[in-house]
Amino acid sequence: MTELFEDDDSYTGPPLDEGLVRRAEEELGLRLPLSYVEVLRLRNGGVPRRRCCPTEFSTTWAPDHFEISAILGIGGPWGIIDHPPGASTSYSVTEWEYPEIGFVVCDTPSAGHDTVMLDYSACGPDGEPAVAYVDEDRVPRRVADSFAAFLTRLTDCRRFD
């Protein structure tokens, strides 16, 4: 798991502590999945080495995959809270008119035209969310049953060249 992120500190927030986790859960009104919190304990957000996720559907950007730029941590200028400063990713949901299914967990190269969200619509605020890709049509499409499963699906983007 330590090889998940590039060596670059881009998108990395402050050291994670229980206070930040509780604050994020309170602000979002959602329980964060344990697999997500465990990753953030290793590194609080960052640029993953494997950034492409294969899909069985076309996206605006490719016929068979999408790319992420970063996994968002908690706090700091790129975190799920204080993103932008003083707001949570719920700000992004409103600003970009994403579906209200959860929160944005990954940035994408499109800078907002598409995104990756944790989707609580089937499990409720205390359940284990799925991971959904949201394209320009704003329709969430499930790409993994959990955050842990999403991480295992990420692959090297050269595969799609």
The tens digit of pLDDT for each residue in 77-128 reads 888 987 555 556 676 777 889 999 999 999 999 988 999 999 999 999 999 9
Continuous segment of H or E residues that includes residue 119: strand 115-119
d(CA 144, CA 155): 14
d(CA 90, CA 77): 15
Domain boundaries, the chain: 2-154
- Fold of the domain built from segment(s) 2-154: SMI1/KNR4-like (3.40.1580)
Rg (CA), the chain: 14
Residue among 152, 155, 159, 59 nearest 114 (CA): 59
pTM across the whole model: 0.93
Per DSSP, the chain holds a count of helices (H) and strands (E) of 4, 7
The tens digit of pLDDT for each residue in 47-78 reads 999 999 999 999 988 999 999 999 999 988 88
